[in-house]
Amino acid sequence: METSSSEARGLVVDPTMPVPLFEIRELAKVYGMGDVAVHALRDVSLALDERQFVVLLGPSGSGKSTLLNIIGGLDVPTSGQVLYRDVDLTRADEATLTAYRRRHVGFVFQFYNLIPSLTAEENVALVTEISEQPMLPEEALQMVKLDARREHFPAQLSGGEQQRVAIARAIAKRPSVLLCDEPTGALDISTGIVVLEALQRVNTELGTTTVVITHNAAIASMADRVIRLADGRVVSVEDRTDKLSPSQLSW
Amino acid sequence: MSGVRFPVSLSALNRKLLRDLLAMKSQALAIAMVVAAGIAMFVMYLSNFESLRATQRAYYERQRFADVFASLKRAPLRVAGDIAALPGVSVIETRVVANVTLDLDQIEEPASGRLVSIPASRRPRLNDLFLRRGRWIEPGRPDEVLASEGFVVAHGLNPGDRIPAVINGRLRRLTIVGVALSPEYIYSIRPGELVPDNKRFGIFWMDQQALAAAFDMEGGFNDVVLGLSPGAQTADVIARLDRILEPYGGLGAIPRALQLSHWTVENELAQLQSFGFLLPLIFLLIAAFILNVALTRALALQRPQIAALKALGYGNRAIGWHYLKWALIIGLLGVVLGIGFGAWLGTMVIALYNDFFRFPVLIFSVPLRVVVGATTLTMVAAGAGAFGAVRRAVRVPPAEAMRPETPARYRRTVLETPFVARHLGTTGRMVLRNVMRHPVRAAASVFGIAFAVAILMTGLVFSDAIDRLILTQFWEAERQDVTVTFVEPRGDAARYALAELPGVIAVEPQRTVAARLRSDYRERYLAVSGVPPSPRFKRIVDRNGHPVRLPPSGVVLSTILARALGVVQGDTITLDVLEGHRPVKRVEVTGLVDDILGLSAYMDLEALHQLMREGSVATGALLLVDSAQEARLSAELKATPIVAGTGFKRAVLKSFREVMAANMSLSIFINLVFASIIAFGVVYNSARVSLSERSRELASLRVLGFTRGEISLILMGELALLTLAALPVGAVFGYSLAAAIVSSIDSEVYRFPLYVSRSAVAWAWLGIIGAAVVSGLIVRRRLDRLDLVAVLKIRE
């Protein structure tokens, strides 16, 4: 799963052409929360390319989180297909999905989900200890500019710092894709910008495909591709060429 | 959270493990204590078992303990040749054995001594003695003896001291030259008594020639012990031996298994083994239950972290193992504590054993096997307790784990009839519904607390049982002050002579004969007692103190004797009298009595006289005595030649109470500690889990204006409900447990009355309520310190 099939066939690859990382076809997800069935996704089809910074935009209940979870192998769809570099995730078993998450996916959640009983560095170490060619925990923390706080516990860090530790944790394994569910949702504007800067740095320096979910339209301005979701369906897909840097954003 | 920094290179996940455990340390400790209690019992009982067993084996082997024992009236030495020639016999030792009275200055009442012969010039071939101090007897010095260590220690004697013994009517001063122990008398007790009394009973080993001379046994023997070759058929040897000894007044040979000292040690070993497995198992079961509840809650709180770990790429197996280790570490802590505690208790119990059982060396050690067994058992229990909870928590799909838990489902409970609902109030309703939300968990908590009640109750019941036993034995059954046994059967003259002694108010003669009772299947050797129609002093009494009337004909047997013979009331057995003209008679079992002590058979006194073709003959007498004159009477009895032994009830009772008191206080202390640990463990954990589950809603109530007292009522109300429900269940458990233990103790040597007093139940209830209140108060402190802001901010 490490090299794309086209490279394996020895074909010459044009570096300027976008290489598809994910192909999503007719994805649908129905789940029951309690006794009420919810159609979270209806017939979603789209593609995500390597090195892309993608923003999934939509109001709450539009199915963004569900889509992200399925892409990240945390959930399985009711019907449809998700291809990661020619591998069909929807047909994979639990062990395969775990391996997929382990090696290829980095997650960042709205409420950080750090382990409260571990320091910042130890939280990152959680990931580096099970990865094959990870960065050192200090390197990952340096990338998000939190090297100085690595001995601190989450309770001793502010919201923004916790979120950046979460990002460091997510990228320490050098994943192919970074999935962020409302990363700035719990933060104020200035802290949020710091976090988005970290994400952009990761996207640029490591070349990681980054997918950010948000309901905040202003953030879409820093994306390469903006996908709008409503009511479980894709409403529009927009490729941008004039993306802003995070410091230029305001909401 | 401020946490521990680890200098060692532990993986991040393991660091999380240790810090998370530290965060719940009081709950973990409570669980570990329950484990520790169970393991302590395991270690205490089984280590003692191993020590006792190993010591016994080595002792028997080194001292060449005999396989078969037989007493008889008198046989010439040449008969030994016939016995030695029996198939299966490899070693034979003939002896002279006699009982004498000792006239000691140190104690008022006469003491008894058993004289056993030993060769002067060599070691005995069987039942060799272990010489603790001093030297062996010298040939040609008839007054030299070796004395049993128990007696010597009880009286503070030393080699060189002399003791006066009344031998065949004459006072002789015996010189103690050495202090010895024998495998035959590891446990030495006067026949008819409940506990060993080293002050009033000693064993003395004397030169065979001298002893024979003193008792008219020159050229003969009245006791023989055999060592059998491997593969010999014991029953066969015994049958043949009996046949040889019958013309010489043989009283029936017994195998080692029925020898009193050996039997007592074996019985103790069996009890250690059964207690050592059963009780710890129950403790571990309760620990597993508490662990399950605590862990389930902890895992519920860890949901977001489990989701994060899954997102990071940790598989189910890794995460499951991580949480399983929680349980295993708590278990391990319990094992370590338990082994320490158990070893300490074990040394105390061994000290008690050293009083009862005389071994050359009895040391306590905890064998590796016991440690390994304890650890394995605990790991299995902890794993079992955790497995279900961990599996369920880990299996939740990651996407679902990230979502908040669905709100707890409540509903009206079945108990809320309109009447109840009206009187319950909102608080009461909350309490009731929360308890009924997890009916299985509530029931298991109730059982756990009930078990604690049962343990406490059992300890108290046994203390009561001892009192009851004393009452029954010493006040209902035997109402005399002094029991006198004669050297040989005497006529009326002896009775009148006794009546003349100072202080004697009344005399009731006793007639017993040594006999063999035979049914179709089995036989037993015992003393048959003749009972007058309205006995004044010694009555036939069952274990609850109710007297039994003797039917006009036939025999009345101890229930346990009847069971041993395989007969029921109405059956006929054969009575083989082993004295006098040795009559043989078929008699009907006309009654059974569930009595306390030994194996008894009773028949009408007149009928017995007729059977023995004698007039009014007595083998002893029961005296009612003026207590002011006891000292004078005692002095007189010591000097009376026809008296072989005396027992003063006051003294016997005193020594019995002393022994029992020491035993009982240790026992009750242990019971109290263990019961408290369980009660505390169950209640505390239940409270902590409840608090954790409800802190959000309780905080909301505080915000609404409820006082600390009011919300603690909600939490404590739940604990109170569980504890109160457990009390009657516990009383039932306690009764069953006590009954089970009593019937497991029942043996041919003694039986306990089962008497569950109201005070035993009441004190047990009080004790457990106390433990519950203490744990409730501790949790209440946490409740009072509830940080409202923090709790309300936590997203669900």
Q: Give the pLDDT of residue A1.
A: 44
Query: A111 Cβ partners below 8 Å, 6+ apart?
Result: A186, B304, B795
Domain assignment present for residue A232? The answer is: yes
Helix (H) or strand (E) holding B504: strand B504-518
Supply the DSSP symbol for B628.
G
pTM above 0.90, yes or no: no
Residues from chain B that touch A151, judged by Cβ atoms under 8 A, are 5
Domain assignment present for residue A190? The answer is: yes
| Chain B residue nearest residue A125, CA to CA | B12
Domain assignment present for residue A136? The answer is: yes
Please write the tens of the pLDDT for every residue from A204-246: 998 899 999 988 888 888 999 999 998 889 999 999 888 888 8
- Cβ–Cβ of A117/B309 closer than 8 Å? no
Domain assignment present for residue A7? The answer is: no
B284: distance to nearest CA of chain A, Å?
30
Residues from chain A that touch B309, judged by Cβ atoms under 8 A, are 115, 126
| Chain B residue nearest residue A107, CA to CA | B311
- Cβ–Cβ of B312/A102 closer than 8 Å? yes
Look at residues B488, B523, B88 and name the one whose alpha carbon lies nearest to residue B249: B488
Number of folded domains that form chain A: 1
Domain assignment present for residue A191? The answer is: yes
**Angle at Cα B239 formed by Cα B235 and Cα B241, nearest 5°?**
115
Q: How far is CA B426 from CA B265, B466, B692, B702, B711, in A?
A: 62, 50, 21, 15, 12
Domain assignment present for residue A89? The answer is: no
Domain assignment present for residue A152? The answer is: yes
> What is the pLDDT confidence band of residue A80, given thresholds at 50, 70 and 90?
very high
Give the residue from A126, A153, A173, A182 with the most B CB atoms within 10 Å of its CB, the best one to mutate.
Answer: A126
Distance, CA of B549 to CA of B515 (rounded, Å) = 22
A17: distance to nearest CA of chain B, Å?
31
A153 vs B: CB within 8 A:
yes
- Cβ–Cβ of B313/A101 closer than 8 Å? yes
Interstrand relation of A79-84 and A87-88 (parallel, antiparallel or unpaired): antiparallel
B403 vs A: CB within 8 A:
yes
Give the residue from A1, A64, A74, A173 with the most B CB atoms within 10 Å of its CB, the best one to mutate.
Answer: A74
> What is the pLDDT confidence band of residue A98, given thresholds at 50, 70 and 90?
confident
CATH number at residue A71: 3.40.50.300
Give the residue from B19, B312, B395 with the most A CB atoms within 10 Å of its CB, the best one to mutate.
Answer: B312
- Cβ–Cβ of A115/B2 closer than 8 Å? no
Residue B189 contacts residue B201 (beta carbons within 8 Å): yes
More confident residue, B59 or A127: B59
Distance, CA of B112 to CA of B102 (rounded, Å) = 6
Mean pLDDT, rounded, for A139-143:
91
Helix (H) or strand (E) holding B147: strand B144-148
Q: Give the pLDDT of residue B1.
A: 45
Q: CA quadruple B707, B709, B711, B713: dihedral positive or negative? A: negative
- Cβ–Cβ of B12/A118 closer than 8 Å? yes
CA neighbours within 13 Å on the CB side: how many for B206? 29
For chains A and B, what is the number of CB pairs under 8 angstroms?
A: 98
Edge-to-edge strand list for the sheet holding A225-230: A105-108, A177-181, A209-214, A53-57, A225-230, A233-239
Chain centroid to CA B543? 18
> Which of A75, A101, A119 comes nearest B397 by C-beta?
A75
- Cβ–Cβ of B12/A122 closer than 8 Å? yes
A140: distance to nearest CA of chain B, Å?
15
Helices (H), chain A: 5-8, 64-71, 94-104, 120-128, 137-143, 159-171, 189-206
Distance, CA of B423 to CA of B596 (rounded, Å) = 53
- For chain B, residues with pLDDT lower than 70 are 1-8, 191-192, 403-425, 789-796
Q: Give the pLDDT of residue A2.
A: 45
| Chain B residue nearest residue A77, CA to CA | B399
β-bridge partners, A27 = A44
Q: For A103-162, what is the HEC assignment?
A: HHEEEECCCCCCCCCCCHHHHHHHHHCCCCCCCCHHHHHHHCCCHHHCCCCHHHCCHHHH
Q: Give the pLDDT of residue B208.
A: 93
Largest pairwise CA distance in chain B: 103
Distance, CA of B87 to CA of B77 (rounded, Å) = 19
B406 vs A: CB within 8 A:
yes
SS3 B410: coil
Structural domain of A180: 50-78+103-248
Chain centroid to CA B171? 41
**Angle at Cα B337 formed by Cα B332 and Cα B343, nearest 5°?**
125
B795 vs A: CB within 8 A:
yes
- Mark which residues 92-151 of A lie under 8 Å from B by CB: 94-95, 98-99, 101-103, 105, 107, 109, 111, 113-119, 122-123, 125-127, 129-130, 151
β-bridge partners, A29 = A41
| Chain B residue nearest residue A96, CA to CA | B315
Please write the tens of the pLDDT for every residue from A4-41: 454 445 555 556 667 788 999 999 998 776 677 888 89
Give the residue from A60, A118, A127 with the most B CB atoms within 10 Å of its CB, the best one to mutate.
Answer: A118
Q: Give the pLDDT of residue A14.
A: 57
Domain assignment present for residue A61? The answer is: yes
Phi first, then psi, for residue B555 (nearest 5°) are -125, 150
β-bridge partners, B148 = B180
- Cβ–Cβ of A74/B399 closer than 8 Å? yes
A235: distance to nearest CA of chain B, Å?
24
Residues from chain A that touch B24, judged by Cβ atoms under 8 A, are none
Instruction: Quickly tell me which residue has 């440690």 as its tokens.
Output: B371
Supply B573's token pair: 């057995």
- Cβ–Cβ of A101/B311 closer than 8 Å? yes
